[in-house]
Amino acid sequence: MGEIEKKLKALGHTLPKTHPYPSPNRTACVQVGNILFLSGHGSGRHAMPADVKQYGKVGAEVTEDEAYQTARAVALQMMSSIKEAVGSLDRVKRVIRLFGMVNSAPGFERQFAVIDGASDLFFELWGPEFGKHARAAVGVAELPRRAILEIMGEFEIRE
């Protein structure tokens, strides 16, 4: 078990199983040089802990706090995909950027607070130097399968 997974365990988390993509024309990750690009990972497609909501609009059926926990769970999904792609989370040198989309009810304007669920977890694991990242958090009218959110990411990988 690597150092990042030990930190995850200390925080009470385990990595979920990775999600097989339903079509041969896309994949969870693509590596170009030392940059790993992650496809959108979100609720509604992957196995989620029973106490984490997967479906609905934030600001209507889903509270901001519930969506924050969903974002943390999605970050764990992302880490499972990273580990599968590069062999160990310890190969991640830094988190570069996250792009989060939040299925938002009209009038909900705190998408940034929802995606903080993922950002906070990456920051906790990689620290202020390598866990701090560029980010966008936007509200959208709909997401596939009524997912609460979807997050894409870019990570620098050690050789």
Q: What is the pTM of this model?
A: 0.96
Judged by average pLDDT, the poorest of 17-21, 36-40, 154-158 is 17-21
What number of other Cβ atoms are within 10 A of residue 66's Cβ?
17
Give, in degrees to the nearest 5, the angle at Cα 142 between 140 and 143. 100
Indicate the pLDDT class of residue 147, thresholds 50, 70 and 90: very high
- Of 130, 120, 129, residue with least CA distance to 94: 130
Tens-place pLDDT, residues 60-73: 999 999 999 999 99
Would you state the pLDDT for residue 24? Answer: 87
Given a contact cutoff of 8 angstroms between Cβ atoms, the answer to whether 103 and 149 are in contact is yes
What domains appear along the chain, each with residue ranges and CATH number? 3-19+28-157 (3.30.1330.40)
Separation in Å, CA 11 to CA 2, 61, 76, 79, 115: 14, 28, 12, 15, 19
Tens-place pLDDT, residues 111-137: 999 999 999 999 999 999 999 999 999
